[in-house]
Amino acid sequence: MKASDLAMKLSILMPVFNEEATVVDSMRRVLATPYQCPIELVVVDDGSTDGTAAAIASVRDGRVRVVSHGSNRGKGAAIRTAADHATGDYIVPCDADLEYAPEEIPLLVEPVLDGAADVVYGTRSFGSHTAFSFWYVVGNKAVTMLANVLYNSYISDLETCFKLMPLELYRSLRVKAHGFGMEAELTAKLLKRGYRPFEVPIHYAARPRDAGKKLTWRDGVEAMWILLRVRLFGAVPRHKRTPVNVSPELRLVGSQSTPARQARA
């Protein structure tokens, strides 16, 4: 399938918790990037207690939708909420901390438009200037290796934020983890269902703990447990549309008109 044979809309999902310093720059860079298809940016303020809400509200663009959680519920919950409100054919998360370059999202879209893949991961390489901790890198590699052993796969970076896939595929996986464990659960369910992500190299610049890095060793332990649980006990539902129930706790705090969902050619 060629790019000309496929019309798609991309929903970029941005979970945000106390990112007052970086969220505006992150949003503007997402919106300024030239894409091969129409996009929308779905921002979920996950119960921020600083000036994040006001910062988000300062970005005015018709492609932006903003949703608020009444309290902090975790990255996995924020991504679920963003997916509930997404109207695109494909989704890709993009953190608001600028560790990832929004300008590289089109690299993940390319294999889809070329008909080479449905699921695309942005794979990071780690060096002294891109990793804040030796143990962080070792933990990431250990979690990724465990996934490869358990699912007989050879992925390079399980914990990458940049995971592009069809919206309906994501919904059908019914990811339940509330926090960072969603990365392991999402990948485990994809691998168990037989998907092997197409990988493209991306740049990465980890911020140190004192600059707001939230991932800890406990998240690595949780990720390993989730990989084992899904492999041994997890029944993965088939890819079909499931009803989307939005919690009453959620409040749509900003929604501007977005183009109608693109039909596939």
Instruction: Report the CATH number at residue 140.
Output: 3.90.550.10
- At 99, the pLDDT band (50, 70, 90 cuts) reads very high
Spatial neighbors of 24 by CB under 8 A, at least 6 apart, are 55, 56, 58, 59
Residue 2 is predicted with a pLDDT of 44
Residue 216 is predicted with a pLDDT of 75
Higher pLDDT, 260 or 78: 78
Q: Which long-range contacts (CB under 8 A, 24 or more apart) does 209-215 make?
A: 209/132, 212/18, 212/19, 212/21, 212/97, 213/132, 214/17, 214/180, 215/136, 215/180
**Residue 60 within a domain:** yes
C-beta separation of 205 from 99 below 8 A? yes
227-242 mean pLDDT: 71
Relative to beta strand 198-202, strand 120-124 is parallel
Residues 128-152 have pLDDT tens digits of: 655 556 766 788 899 999 999 999 9
Domain count, the chain: 1
Distance CA 202, CA 194 (A): 24
- At 220, the pLDDT band (50, 70, 90 cuts) reads confident
- At 230, the pLDDT band (50, 70, 90 cuts) reads very high
Residues 20-39 have pLDDT tens digits of: 999 999 999 999 999 999 99
112-119 mean pLDDT: 96
Q: Model's pTM, two decimal places?
A: 0.82
**Residue 206 within a domain:** yes
**Residue 260 within a domain:** no
**Residue 262 within a domain:** no
Lowest mean pLDDT among 4-8, 46-50, 76-80, 112-116: 4-8
- At 235, the pLDDT band (50, 70, 90 cuts) reads low
Q: Which domain holds residue 65?
A: 3-255
Residue 219 is predicted with a pLDDT of 73
Residues 166-216 have pLDDT tens digits of: 999 999 999 999 887 899 999 999 999 999 999 999 999 875 544 444 567
Q: For residue 74, is pLDDT > 70?
A: yes
**Residue 124 within a domain:** yes
**Residue 222 within a domain:** yes
Q: For residue 258, is pLDDT > 90?
A: no
**Residue 65 within a domain:** yes
**Residue 265 within a domain:** no
